[in-house]
Amino acid sequence: MGWPGHSVGCVGDAQPGLVRRIEAGTVRLAYRTWGPAGAPPLVLLHALGEQSSDWAPVAQALAPSWRVYAPDLRGHAASDWADPYTIEQLTADLAAFADALELERVALGGHSVGGPPAYLYAARHPGRVTRLVLEDPAPPWPREPRILARPEGPLPFDWDVTALSNEFTEPQVSSWRDELARIAAPALVIAGGPASHIDQDQLAGMAALIPDCELVTIPAGHLVHAADPAGFTAAVTAFLGPRRAGERDLDDPEARS
């Protein structure tokens, strides 16, 4: 399914962050970048129904120290609108995105439905993730199916992508939960507190299953980085901190172009 007016070539953009497109496995992904090309890379994955520009305030704050990459997930905004829309496919897209950009090791963040591909990638590629930040992520526990009503008018995402909301079923969620123990990178889970629709007890349980994980609650609801950008950015900046011994600027191909 395509988006009317959706370009298959270069993408113009009025939002902060330079927009590019790249072939990532079976899909063309649009992405925005902030920060110097030689800085250590940080990849941020947005929530269901959002897009890469959603990260702009956070990315701008982090840009002095990081090369921030924020893709439009498959089925969203200027990326290809192409199924399958599954958590496993988004995880494969993330791996292909990192490979296409020759990002050998990255700090990685994900919000909401962008959280599962981030934590699964970190579990399956432990040597390629230096830090993991999960903002009120969808936790790997089963939940009841959700019936969503499509709003009227055009949308900046493929409505079929809302199938991601109903991916949290057995047996795959138990398998995903078991994989959390394989995450080697230091991790930060930022919970949105009682105003969030995400089960906060499950987030605490999730953090306990990740070997090196800190749980921080910022009581701003599910959209922590939008509702409390200063608090969110302060928590992330403190966690990412200065690079530790053994971490270096990666040989970013953009720095060579």
Please state, in angstroms and rounded to a whole number, the distance separating the CA atoms of residues 55 and 50. 9
- Determine the distance from the C-alpha atom of residue 233 to the mean position of all C-alpha atoms in its chain, rounded to a whole number: 15
pTM (predicted TM-score): 0.89
Could you read off the pLDDT of 202-241 as tens digits, one per residue? 999 999 999 999 999 999 999 999 999 999 999 999 999 8
Kindly list the structural domains of the chain, giving each domain's residue range(s) and its CATH number in brackets, ordered by start: 29-145+155-242 (3.40.50.1820)
Contact 135, 111 (CB under 8 A): yes
The DSSP bridge partners found for residue 27 are 24
Split at pLDDT 50, 70, 90, the class of 242 is low
Axis-axis angle for helices 87-100, 115-124 (nearest 10): 60
**Is 71:30 a contact under the CB 8 Å cutoff?**
yes
Q: How far, rounded to the nearest angstrom, does the alpha carbon of residue 206 sit from its chain's CA centroid?
A: 17
| Cβ proximity of 75 and 81 under 8 Å | yes
Question: Percentage of the chain surpassing pLDDT 90?
Answer: 84
DSSP, collapsed to helix, strand or coil, labels residue 211 as coil
The continuous run of DSSP H or E covering 131 comes out as strand 129-135
Q: Which residue has the tokens 């956070």?
A: 58
116: tokens are: 């599962």
User: Of 32, 26, 34, which Cα lies nearest the Cα of 11?
Assistant: 32
Task: Round to whole Å and give the CA distance between 82 and 161.
Answer: 9
pLDDT tens figures, 28-75: 999 999 999 899 999 999 999 999 999 999 999 999 999 999 999 999
How far apart (Å, rounded) are the C-alpha atoms in residues 167 and 184? Answer: 25
Task: Report how far apart, in Å, the C-alpha atoms of 68 and of each of 19, 41, 54, 129 are.
Answer: 12, 6, 13, 14
Residue closest to 197 by CA, chosen among 223, 233, 174, 216: 223
At 174-191, the pLDDT tens digits run 999 999 999 999 999 999
Backbone angles phi, psi at 116, to 5 degrees: -55, -45
